[in-house]
Amino acid sequence: MRLSFLEPLYKQPGPFASVYLDTSRDVAIEDPEAAVQLRWRHLRDALMSEGADRDSITAVAGTVGSDTDVPGTHGQAVFTAHGHLALLDELPVPPARDTAHFGTLPDTMPLIVQHAPGIPYLAVQVHYGGRHSTDATGTVRIEAEAGTWPLTKVTSGHRMDEEIPVADWTRAAGEVGRELEGHARRIDVETVVVAGDVWARGILIRRLPASLRGRVTTVAGAGESEPGRALLEQRLESLFTGRMAAHDRMLLDAFLAERARDGAFAEGLAPAVSALQRGRVKALFLNDHPGSPFRLWVGPEPGQLALTERELQSYGIREVSEERADTALARALVGTRAELVVVPEQELRLSEDVGVLLRYADPGSGG
């Protein structure tokens, strides 16, 4: 997973207020807006206890709960610095618990994990309920959305919506297919998910460009999509749960191959930190453990991280602070333009929850 979406955040100076909050409205309570504000007040108190300045708290307060147009269960991630909003992101799933942190570095790992698996896809719904014949009356309606899962749950992707007379469907399906290819090419989709009437969608699939036809997965079910939510959301949830994006899978396979031959890889926190210090990391692999106890020392620059304060100071760095390891690793990855792959523990258990694929191996040594 590429982390370029975080680059604007790290270009700003800290300290940062980082807030994760459940802002779902479709819950069985009398006043959901009041509930959101109550949860925020608890987090505000937590920020104040950590020394957050009043301007940063005011900036969060002006943003929390602003996503009233997002339906369904979801959350918000809000980052502020020096009285200004630094980053706002909608969360496809409410946080496991509401959290607030004020510190030198932004607490971005929970946000990064919510972007996973980051699968680029094209969803197509073919609406038709008439006679399976091109001399029938009525129309075939095509809804399509190109986006990245699971972010399209809360942030719409590229959409199209067209109606075509049934009599023209055989001819027009090829044109629709070329239009879909244009949408797909923007984000290099890896899966095309097609649902709807079996006859009408079959004609479309047969006329899709070859670049899309080999990526098609058909799913059962039809119906209208919920406004503001991903097209075919429930079908996509079933299809993508537990799955890694193809790009991340390729990186993991490369890591495993390097590990098998004792090549350009490292595993464990200390070797990973050493590689990040030298800008050697191509991708970092992480078993997601929100409560990880590991801590690191950091300096002002992304590559300035170490296991001990003394090590950083030995490099002549005087402005240092102790931070959670995940916050330090996230900044280092963004700053060195390395990628992150969240690996389910049942698929690969990493030593100290972390491993790295290196850009190159040290001559004459493994890792």
Q: Give 150-168 pLDDT, tens digit per residue.
A: 999 998 888 999 999 999 9
Nearest Cα to 102, choosing from 209, 188, 3, 16? 16
* Bridge pairing between strands 339-342 and 281-286: parallel
**How far is it, in rounded angstroms, from Cα 301 to Cα 240?**
36
pLDDT digits (tens, 9 = 90+) for 25-65: 876 667 888 889 999 999 999 999 999 999 999 999 999 99
**Architecture category of domain 119-240 in CATH:** 2-Layer Sandwich (3.30)
Across 71-75, 76-80, 340-344, the highest mean pLDDT is recorded for 76-80
Q: Are 195 and 219 in contact (CB under 8 A)?
A: yes
**Which stretch of 80-89, 141-150, 280-289 has the lowest confidence by average pLDDT?**
280-289
**How far is it, in rounded angstroms, from Cα 174 to Cα 289?**
47
pTM summary value: 0.89
User: Is 4-115 CATH 3.30.960?
Assistant: yes
User: What are the extents of the domains in the chain?
Assistant: 4-115, 119-240, 246-358
Secondary-structure class of domain 246-358 per CATH: alpha beta
Nearest Cα to 76, choosing from 86, 60, 84, 64? 64
Reported as a pLDDT band with limits 50, 70 and 90, residue 366 is: very low
Query: CB-side exposure of 150: number of CA atoms within 13 Å?
Result: 26
Question: Has residue 272 got a pLDDT over 70?
Answer: yes
